[in-house]
Amino acid sequence: MSQPPAAWGASTEDWNGVLRYGPVVADETTLRLCGPLAGKKVLVLGCGAGQAPVELARAGARVVGVEPSPTRVEAARSRCTAAEVAVELHRLDLAELAFVRADTIDLAFSAMQLCGVADPTRVFRQLHRVLRPDAALVCSLPHPALALTTDGPKARYAPTTPRPWTSGSERGEDHGHTLGALVTAFVRTGFRLDTLHELPTDTAVPTVVVLRARKIGALTVNG
């Protein structure tokens, strides 16, 4: 992975009709995690340059996108206009979902963007409120083992300090989230994890983890 994980998707690369989870890994045509999209209301967390919103809208979904970067919001708007699809875009932090009514979202989707969030629990808590019962969050993140191959002799599994990055005019931080921390965050916010893929499967160390978790009832006491 030659670029910062959180910067992936912000390029002008076209996904060519495919919903992707990361660079050089299996995509939705293989994993089939999102299910039928026609008529569904889908919330995209982190829009990149608009590839995911466009592909979801082309599949018939009603798409709402949340993206904190003004540069990416404008890029996403331009891509949606060029593709002639209607997408509702908001420049907001990924946990700022107060504008979405409770129990109205059929699917939440995020491709390699939650690594830019220091505390995923904040996002999951808000998603639990807006998702319909049993609706899913489908997301991908950099695999926590990725740092072992990119950080040199002092590499650690899921670094505990954020890793600053620069890509063109953009700056940000990547936060390492262990698989255990992600599973715990799902449990504490009222989700049931039902799918986990560590990709690719034919390399010494996986680079991307793809998860699907479903909303199950009320938040726990610790949520």
137 membership: H or E segment, kind and range:
strand 131-142
> Residue 3: its pLDDT value, please?
56
User: Considering the domain boundaries, does residue 158 fall inside one?
Assistant: yes
Q: What is the mean pLDDT of the chain?
A: 89
> Residue 13: its pLDDT value, please?
82
Percent of the chain with pLDDT over 90: 70
Instruction: Work out how many domains the chain is built from and give that number.
Output: 1
For 176-215, how does the pLDDT look when each residue is reduced to its tens digit (9 = 90+)?
Answer: 899 999 999 999 999 999 999 999 999 888 999 999 999 9
Higher pLDDT, 145 or 11: 145
User: Considering the domain boundaries, does residue 223 fall inside one?
Assistant: no
User: Considering the domain boundaries, does residue 222 fall inside one?
Assistant: no
* Distance, CA of 15 to CA of 34 (rounded, Å): 17
Range of the domain at 45: 5-10+19-215
Q: What angle do CA 21, 58, 213 make, to 5 degrees?
A: 40
User: Considering the domain boundaries, does residue 166 fall inside one?
Assistant: yes
pTM of model > 0.75: yes
User: Considering the domain boundaries, does residue 116 fall inside one?
Assistant: yes
> Residue 222: its pLDDT value, please?
42
User: Does the pLDDT at position 223 exceed 50?
Assistant: no
User: Considering the domain boundaries, does residue 121 fall inside one?
Assistant: yes
Q: Indicate the pLDDT class of residue 144, thresholds 50, 70 and 90.
A: confident
Taking Cα atoms as reference points, which of 128, 142, 132 lies closest to residue 22?
142
For 24-53, how does the pLDDT look when each residue is reduced to its tens digit (9 = 90+)?
Answer: 899 999 999 999 999 999 999 999 999 999
User: Considering the domain boundaries, does residue 220 fall inside one?
Assistant: no
CATH assignment at residue 54? 3.40.50.150
Higher pLDDT, 66 or 2: 66
